[in-house]
């Protein structure tokens, strides 16, 4: 599974392109964000990625969970978003 780490300075369009490319390649994707700014950029990226994928007959949904991660000697709480891919039928486009 590819885990894309998003920061508050990440470009939503760049993250969206990475998400869409991995989904089109059939790869499992999750997104990890620490802090409100990073979560905001991640959600924007998901919205943009849906716009890239829906015309190709694919849609994504996301399930957020809290995740404890170690950064140096500190433990931080991240939000990890697992992505689920759904194929659309011809009438949904």
- Which is higher by pLDDT, 77 or 89? 77
Number of domains in the chain: 1
17-71 per-position pLDDT tens digit: 999 999 999 999 999 999 999 999 999 999 999 999 999 999 999 999 999 999 9
> Does residue 93 lie in a domain region?
no
Question: pTM for the full model?
Answer: 0.89
What is the CATH classification number for the domain harbouring 75?
3.30.110.20
Contact (Cβ atoms closer than 8 angstroms) between residue 33 and residue 65: no
**Which residues form the domain of 31?**
2-87
> Does residue 10 lie in a domain region?
yes
> Does residue 65 lie in a domain region?
yes
> Does residue 40 lie in a domain region?
yes
pLDDT at 90 over 80: no
């Amino acid at each position: 599974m590819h885990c894309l780490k998003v920061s508050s300075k990440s470009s939503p369009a760049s993250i969206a392109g990475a998400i869409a490319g991995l989904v089109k390649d059939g790869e499992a994707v999750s997104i990890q964000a620490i802090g409100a700014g990073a979560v905001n950029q991640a959600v924007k990226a998901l919205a943009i990625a849906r716009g890239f994928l829906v015309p190709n007959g694919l849609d994504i949904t996301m399930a957020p969970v809290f995740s404890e991660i170690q950064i140096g000697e500190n433990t931080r709480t991240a939000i990890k978003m697992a992505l689920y891919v759904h194929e659309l039928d011809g009438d949904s486009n």
